[in-house]
């Protein structure tokens, strides 16, 4: 009995439309609750990302491992975010990413085929998808700009003001990796910014 209310609320809020009872039953029929314990993997590099997950509770990171064995975090995800490697999910290609629970994680997951169904059947769902797509495009554009034009310190300040929750929920070395910094550099940077 996972909490579908979080998903319903989210869809209605983002789309600005209401879900009918039929809509809700359709969603409940094919979104499957899944629980992962901290450290468990939602997706492993090399596997196809068959499911997209809606985070009801907990957090996760999406990361790659380079040839030298260094990890790079591309995404940190919290409640009410979607979890997937979209490239693999859309194209059914093996993923280059790992997605790992950073805290005990509850998701509602569904397949691409089923999502396509929802897009056709549920107006609120399709409206939500359009809004999300816009938001992603905007967020990506911003993050890309930040990565290219900002100094490490500016990127950190940006994160502090835009995602203050991250500081509460994720250890500093994860934040560092997300910002493209070594943990040492982030530590020093914070110390210096007090002056």
Binding interface with DNA (CB under 7 A):
68, 70, 151-153, 171-173, 180-191
Which alpha helices (H) appear in the chain, and where do they start and end?
Answer: 4-15, 21-30, 86-91, 112-121, 123-149, 152-162, 164-169, 172-179, 183-192
- Which residues from 17-76 bind a second copy, rule CB under 8 A? 64, 66, 70, 72, 74
| Residue 58 zone, left/alpha/beta (φ > 0; ψ -120 to 50; rest) | left
We find the least distance from the C-beta atom of residue 104 to a second copy, in angstroms, to be 26
Nearer to DNA, 123 or 183 (CB): 183
What span, in angstroms and rounded, lies between the C-alpha atoms of 159 and 25?
Answer: 38
What span, in angstroms and rounded, lies between the C-alpha atoms of 62 and 77?
Answer: 8
Q: Does 111 bind a second copy (CB under 8 A)?
A: no
We find the least distance from the C-beta atom of residue 105 to DNA, in angstroms, to be 15
We find the least distance from the C-beta atom of residue 150 to DNA, in angstroms, to be 8
CA atoms within 13 A on the CB side of 25: 3
Please choose which of DNA, a second copy, none residue 91 contacts, taking the beta carbon within 5 to 8 angstroms, the exact cut-off set by kind.
a second copy
- Which residues sit at the interface with a second copy, rule CB under 8 A? 64, 66, 70, 72, 74, 85-87, 90-91, 96, 133-134, 136-138, 140-145, 147-149, 180
């Amino acid at each position: 009995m996972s909490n579908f209310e979080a998903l319903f609320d989210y869809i209605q809020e983002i789309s600005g439309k209401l879900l009918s009872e039929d809509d809700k039953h359709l969603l409940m029929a094919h979104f499957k609750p899944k629980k992962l314990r901290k450290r468990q993997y939602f997706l492993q590099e090399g596997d196809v990302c068959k499911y997209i997950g809606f985070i009801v509770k907990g957090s996760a990171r999406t990361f790659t491992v380079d040839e030298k064995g260094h990890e790079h975090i591309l995404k940190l995800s919290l409640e009410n975010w979607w979890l997937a490697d979209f490239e693999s999910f859309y194209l059914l290609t093996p993923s280059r990413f790992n997605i790992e629970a950073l805290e005990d994680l509850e998701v509602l997951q569904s397949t691409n085929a089923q999502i396509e169904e929802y897009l056709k059947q549920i107006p609120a769902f399709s409206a939500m998808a359009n809004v999300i797509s816009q938001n992603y495009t905007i967020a990506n554009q911003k993050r890309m700009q930040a990565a290219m034009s900002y100094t490490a310190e500016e990127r950190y300040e940006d994160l502090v003001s835009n995602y203050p929750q991250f500081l509460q929920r994720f250890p500093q070395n994860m934040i560092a990796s997300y910002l493209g910094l070594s943990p040492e550099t982030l530590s020093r940077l914070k110390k210096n910014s007090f002056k």
